[in-house]
Amino acid sequence: MITKEIREQFPILGQEVNGKPLTYLDSAATSQKPISVIETLAHYYKNDNSNVHRGVHTLGTRATDGYEGSREKVRRFINASSTEEVIFVRGTTTAINTVASSYGRANIGEGDEIVITPMEHHSNIIPWQQLAKETGATLKYIPLQADGTISLSDVENTITAHTKIVSVMYVSNVLGTINPIKDITEIAHRNDAVMMVDGAQAAPHMKVDVQELDCDFFAFSAHKMCGPTGIGVLYGKKQLLDKMEPVEFGGEMIDFVGLYDSTWKELPWKFEGGTPIIAGAIGLGAAIDFLEQIGLDEIEKIEHELVEYAMERMSTIEGLTIFGPRNRAGLVTFNLDDVHPHDVATVLDTEGIAVRAGHHCAQPLMKWLDVTATARASFYLYNTKDDVDALIEGLKTTKEYFGHVF
Ligand code: PLP
């Protein structure tokens, strides 16, 4: 599909905002949804809506087939070895909290270490802070290099025989850094630690193979990859998940319930207490179909060309600072002179351009960058060079506006 055809699949992009054609550059926060995903959700609610795994009636069977069929699509998408290793959760945040609560509480104690980086999203910091406080473990950080990357020698020096869990983001939502997850996993395993990967900014944009990475846990959210909100995935190796306790108890996840004791279903259902996110999972399946139809390699190529073009054009704007390494994923985080990023985003909005401004759920990283906030333009498969050109014009307008006011 050429980009024009891809764009036509996203009805939301055809609108005007503030009298200008919408330029959507906030896909790292959430992506837009193609018509196939929207119609899959509508079709499910119009035709098949029912609870799963319970009824023997036809609608119940259709809903169950759709839900479990999506699990198989996810398994293929990340190359997990079995659907037992694919747990549907609310999103990346829930996936990381599940590992911290279940694996963490059972395996971490006083004197143990949890290793993360200062570039993590809050959802990959706070669960570990809480676990460390609860258990008396130490939370350690792999230091960042000046360009916002991490070096393997620092990884080697930070992870020790006391480290029990290492949790690192694959792709930074602020710097665009692509971390060497396979190498970090190898170092973690050499020290008998388990490796958790926050894949929220990776799964939508590049081919992920959990067996090739050899990570123990991998988390991502459907809403950043053309799917619905409210659904995401926790991948975990079967031998670890088998030994872990569920974190939510109730319907759907039980085998036998007595007055004083109960037993759990097998994987993956023991981690899916209550009525699951049925429509969401089916919508995620449709999103995977859509992304695979275009191809993850093609998506990566589109974004790479856009980010290269954006970096080149943005570097010609005087007073504009770009944060993060040269080699990066499809986003550019920046500040413009002394203009507050919220003001930048507000002026751009008047031009129909949607960018993110704030701390991007990465306050420790903002501190490291020595800024209170930044603006961020993030690209996805439906963006074009015209969108980058609109951003450049918008930034020039912003400069003129503030130059004029002050
Ligand atoms: N990790 C990263 C790198 C993210 O960018 C995000 C969302 O912005 C998250 C985790 C949290 O994802 P969610 O809010 O879908 O749970």
Looking up tokens 């258990």, which residue turns up? 135
Are residues 236 and 113 both part of a single domain? yes
Q: Is 215 a catalytic residue?
A: no
Are residues 203 and 122 both part of a single domain? yes
Distance 93 CA to ligand 1 centre (A): 7
Distance 279 CA to ligand 1 centre (A): 21
Distance 260 CA to ligand 1 centre (A): 38
Its domain, for residue 62, covers: 50-293
Q: Does the CB atom of residue 221 touch ligand 1 within 6 A?
A: yes
- Taking alpha carbons only, the member of 329, 374, 380 closest to residue 176 is 329
Q: Does the CB atom of residue 169 touch ligand 1 within 6 A?
A: yes
pTM: 0.98
Taking CB atoms within 8 Å and a gap of at least 24, the contacts of 41-48 are: 41/228, 41/279, 41/282, 41/283, 41/286, 44/278, 44/279, 44/282, 44/283, 45/279
Which CATH number fits the domain that encloses residue 248? 3.40.640.10
Give the whole-angstrom CA distance, residue 293 versus residue 277: 24
Number of structural domains found in the chain = 2
Instruction: Going residue by residue through the chain, which has 406 residues, state the pLDDT in tens, using 9 for 90 and above.
Output: 778 899 999 999 999 999 999 999 999 999 999 999 999 999 999 999 999 997 789 999 999 999 999 999 999 999 999 999 999 999 999 999 999 999 999 999 999 999 999 999 999 999 999 999 999 999 999 999 999 999 999 999 999 999 999 999 999 999 999 999 999 999 999 999 999 999 999 999 999 999 999 999 999 999 999 999 999 999 999 999 999 999 999 999 999 999 999 999 999 999 999 999 999 999 999 999 999 999 999 999 999 999 999 999 999 999 999 999 999 999 999 999 889 999 999 999 999 999 999 999 999 999 999 999 999 999 999 999 999 999 999 999 999 988 855 4
If residue 335 lies in a helix (H) or strand (E), which one and from where to where?
Answer: strand 331-336
Q: Does the CB atom of residue 23 touch ligand 1 within 6 A?
A: no
Q: Specify if 201 maps to a domain.
A: yes
Show the tokens assigned to 164. Answer: 């029990």
Distance 198 CA to ligand 1 centre (A): 8
Neighbours of 5 (CB within 10 A): 9
**Contact indicator for 234, 244 with CB cutoff of 8 Å:** no
Q: Specify if 227 maps to a domain.
A: yes
Out of 88, 171, 361, mutate this one to test ligand 1's pocket (max ligand atoms within 8 Å of CB): namely 361
